Amino acid sequence: MDYNARIVSDARICGGAPVIKGTRVTLRTVLASLEEGCTPEEIVAGFPSLKVEDVRAVIAFAAASAREDMPRPGVPRVA
């Protein structure tokens, strides 16, 4: 998923925290809701300016960020 089309960071909006484009809903807010066990549909019900695709973009962004921080395993040696 291309989350770049849905997530923006602007110093004039929410202090530069990443938000869903066209809203003031931060990624932190969406991720906290997911952590609490909310489904994407429940999050959208609570934030009507969002779409389920926005929540999926937040998940994709978080997964990509986590991949960047993970150490890469070494290449096994062949004897």
Q: Give the total number of structural domains in the chain.
A: 1
Query: What local confidence, expressed as pLDDT, does residue 61 receive?
Result: 93
pLDDT at residue 53, as a whole number: 97
Q: By residue range, what is the domain housing residue 59?
A: 3-66
How distant, in Å, are the alpha carbons of 19, 30, 71, 77 from that of 74? 36, 34, 9, 9
pTM for the predicted model, two decimal places: 0.82
Q: What is the CATH number of the domain that holds 30?
A: 1.10.10.10
Mean pLDDT of 16-43: 96
